[in-house]
Amino acid sequence: MSDLTEAFVDSHDFKTQLSETAGAAFVSEGFEASAGRVNASDRPDLADFQCNGALAVAKAAKANPREVAGKIISHFSADDRLKAVDIAGPGFLNFVLSEDALSQRANALASDARLGAPKVAARRKIIIDFGGPNVAKEMHIGHLRTAVIGESLKRVMRFMGDEVMGDAHFGDWGYQMGLLIVAVSEEQPDLPYFDAAFTGDYPTEAPVSLEDLGRLYPATAKRVKDGDEALRDKAKVATRELQHGRVGYRALWQHFVTVSRQALIRDYGALNVTFDWWKGESDADPYIEPMIVDLKAKGLLVPDQGAQIVRVAREDDKKDIPPLLVVSSEGSSMYGTTDLATIVQRNAEFGPDLTLYVVDQRQSAHFEQVYRAAYLAGYAKPGQLEHAANGTVNGPDGTPFKTRDGGTLKLHDLVSQAVEKATSRLHEAGLGEGLSETEFADTAHKVAVAALKFAELSNHRLTNYIFDLDRFMSFEGKTGPYLLYQAVRMKSILRKAGDQGVSAGAITVGEPAERELVLLLDAFDNALKESYLKRAPNLLADHVYKLAQGFSKFYANCPVLVGDDAAVKASRLGLVTLTLKQLELGLDLMGLSAPEQM
């Protein structure tokens, strides 16, 4: 209980309220406050909330759990929030809220600009590293997870009160740059970039397109893999000379970066993903040499077979942790070098309290090496560097998704396919028929993005999942399009109410479906806390889906604009208004948006 209550402020949901009261009751009876943790009931047909603490403390005290529970219940005897509180089974405490308490909570939420969302108790400076795209490579379906999960975490943490910077962390400084320089020199040897004696101005127009880079890199990499050692050695030399400042290579490299970045901005933008920093590995380059000097001075950088390494293994390691390779035998900076220097750079430029790496779990071993080296060198304190790992997007065979010809599906093509599928589904369902061509296209794009992103976010980030565009695009079930459809229904109700001159008023809870909906609205607080602490947007996604379901049940059982009772109409319209606001806020925190009509 303390983790949630101490980490956040402005938290007034029922779970927090009841936990605080129960905690105080346990303390007054001589037990720990943590025993008072209250959770949503496992049996919502019997109770709204439950507390199981009496069983645990009774066992430790060798007491009768029902007797302990009875003592705790006595502290709730005059609690007007509750319609009933009783003991179930061997000592479970069951709480049923009163309709008045639910009505008051609903009206409080309706008047709250944050709709029940808490804030962090202590504002932190956080960097989220969730890009990782590489120069010369178009993004593919494998980049979808980090982009979508990272964007949602950025939005949630920022909304909760932290100062958050999203960093694309562009892959632009390694061996692949050397490969590309050599590849272009073979195709266009007369370009001035390769003339070491050239002193004029280099061309402002890029000599290569993104398509050229996408063709050259894999072809050249394959030649090296197939045994072309001469090409490999040339690429290593080119990499070293680029990193050491050869002017022509730097000018050509800048074209690679510019061309690639334009495509990345396009593809990320199509998914409503943005970055505060478009920094690359190259931005850490000025910090590398001073860092190497510092590592040597601290006795951490040691020679090893012509290279220089930092040993990060510990005596209590249960598995082998290789050293971090900082300088290769050819004198080049390595992948880990730039990651370590990036930590130094970020300290100098931002001073983060936490850096969250939203990166494929297959990079876990690498990050363990980098983090340990950073802790040894004093560039970060334990806990300030965190790998929020994610699983993979798989095909029907359970392996990372491939196209029919065995290739990797480009992200741009994926979004195009999703928009095409969304367009088809909207037509099949007879939706959007009254929209203009521009409005329909916008709606189709929002549905497509919701389908792709909610499929990601509805799974825990570590879970591998099967990519199935047909299932993701359904307007029924746990999908993004279903959420948008429910939001559009709410907007339609509000428009009709406006046409009839009916306004939202004070909310009065009476019907079971109204109770359920208000309890779901109240749960937004806890869903955000858990999503924040566990770096798990799927918990927010679960809440938003349940909220949409709860609205659907409410709408089916509680007519909003039918009947003669003006107070009931106003109350239910107030619930629709509140639910739409919270649903749209939840969608926004996931990087989704609902159209006005469908």
Secondary structure of 207-246 in the HEC alphabet?
A: CCCHHHHHHHHHHHHHHHHCCCHHHHHHHHHHHHHHHCCC
User: Does 424 share its domain with 554?
Assistant: yes
CA 475 vs CA 422, 451, 481: distances in Å: 10, 9, 5
3-state secondary structure of 92: strand
Domain boundary among 250, 270, 290: 270
pTM of the model as a whole: 0.94
Domain boundary among 97, 130, 161: 97
Supply the CATH number for residue 553's domain: 1.10.730.10
Tens place of pLDDT for every residue, the chain, 598 residues? 334 457 899 999 999 999 999 999 999 999 999 999 999 999 999 999 999 999 999 999 999 999 999 999 999 999 999 999 999 999 999 999 999 999 999 999 999 999 999 999 999 999 999 988 888 888 888 889 999 999 999 999 999 999 999 999 999 988 999 999 999 999 999 999 999 999 999 999 999 998 999 899 999 999 999 999 999 999 999 999 999 999 999 999 999 999 998 889 999 999 999 999 999 999 999 999 999 999 999 999 999 999 999 999 999 999 999 999 999 888 888 889 999 999 999 999 999 999 999 999 999 999 999 999 999 999 999 999 999 999 988 888 888 777 666 677 889 999 999 999 999 999 999 999 999 999 999 999 999 999 999 999 999 999 999 999 999 999 999 999 999 999 999 999 999 999 999 999 999 999 999 999 999 999 999 999 999 999 999 999 999 999 999 999 999 999 999 988 999 999 999 999 999 999 999 999 999 999 999 9
Closest CA to 201 of 251, 253, 242: 251
- Res 53: pLDDT: 96
User: Does 451 share its domain with 561?
Assistant: yes
User: Does 71 share its domain with 180?
Assistant: no
Calculate the CA 511 to chain-centre distance: 36
User: Does 485 share its domain with 578?
Assistant: yes
User: Does 416 share its domain with 527?
Assistant: yes
In whole angstroms, give the CA distance from residue 60 to residue 69: 14
Structural domains of the chain, count: 3
User: Does 473 share its domain with 576?
Assistant: yes
Query: Which residue segment(s) compose the domain that 67 sits in?
Result: 2-97
Return the CA Rg of the chain. 29
Q: Which two tokens stand for residue 429?
A: 């369902």
**b/e 553-579 (16+ beta carbons within 10 angstroms → b):** ebbeebebeeeeeeebbbbbbbbbbbb
User: Does 71 share its domain with 179?
Assistant: no
Supply the CATH number for residue 54's domain: 3.30.1360.70
Q: Is residue 437 part of a domain?
A: yes
Q: Is residue 563 part of a domain?
A: yes
3-state secondary structure of 465: strand
Q: Which two tokens stand for residue 107?
A: 């009206």
Q: Is residue 386 part of a domain?
A: no
Domain boundary among 270, 300, 318: 270
Q: Is residue 405 part of a domain?
A: no
User: Does 496 share its domain with 585?
Assistant: yes
User: Does 581 share its domain with 495?
Assistant: yes
Q: Tokens 């989220």 identify what position?
A: 128
Q: Is residue 182 part of a domain?
A: yes
User: Does 438 share its domain with 578?
Assistant: yes
User: Does 190 share its domain with 71?
Assistant: no
Closest CA to 254 of 196, 170, 328: 170
Q: Is residue 395 part of a domain?
A: no
Q: Is residue 595 part of a domain?
A: no
Amino acid letter, 253: W
In whole angstroms, give the CA distance from residue 540 to residue 51: 23
Q: Is residue 388 part of a domain?
A: no
Residues 6+ apart with CB under 8 A from 401: 141, 142, 392, 393, 394, 395, 409, 467
